[in-house]
Amino acid sequence: MSYPYEDLASTGPNNDLFPSVQTNNLNTNMQMKLTAASIFFVAQLAAVQAYNWRLYNNGGCDHNSGAAKTFPPLPAPPRSIDFGVCVTSPQPVSWTNLEVDLSLNPQIDVFKFCNANCTGNSVEALNNYCSPAPAGCAIGSFIAFSPVTSVKKAKEDLKL
């Protein structure tokens, strides 16, 4: 039987399709493991680029709260936003707590601010699914980071 690309496959020694690939089993196995690890790492980076959140004005993160005490209003699902993006809270409600979903990424560093556009007094919450506003004010805005984002650079940019 003849294949249309048979002449291409016979260019290397032993008619290897990929003549430059080493045939040493140890090297081949190591290359395969490194490739698999690289693919897994890239997939993990892509998987944790966003998080889910909800604001509350009931002094906690009570899922039985009415629509007027939550944003997005319950029973709607929480909002999703990319890490490193500042979210300004809807006004004029005085939001007391921020809930973040830690199920997909248990390491989330959240900064909540008194003012819009991630300015003013702030408070940090690390790996906390329900965290309060900064002392003496409501949550005016917030921003979150994960270990795969550049937390140090982002904190410096925000002067935290």
pLDDT score for 128: 87
- Containing domain of residue 95, as a range? 50-158
Look up the CATH number of the domain holding residue 74.
2.60.20.10
Residue 140 has pLDDT above 90, yes or no: yes
pLDDT digits (tens, 9 = 90+) for 118-131: 999 999 988 889 99
For 26-60, write each residue's pLDDT tens digit. Answer: 455 545 444 444 444 444 444 457 899 999 999 89
Q: Where are the alpha helices (DSSP H) in the chain?
A: 6-9, 25-47, 151-158
Q: How many domains is the chain partitioned into structurally?
A: 2
99 and 30 together in one domain: no
Residue 150 gets the label, from left (phi > 0), alpha (psi -120 to 50) or beta, of: beta
Report whether pLDDT(151) > 70. Answer: no
pLDDT at res. 63? 92
User: Rounded to two decimals, what is the model's pTM?
Assistant: 0.64
Kindly state whether residues 36 and 14 are assigned to the same domain. yes
CA 114 and chain centroid, separation? 23
58 and 28 in one domain?
no
ω into 134 cis (within 30 of 0): no
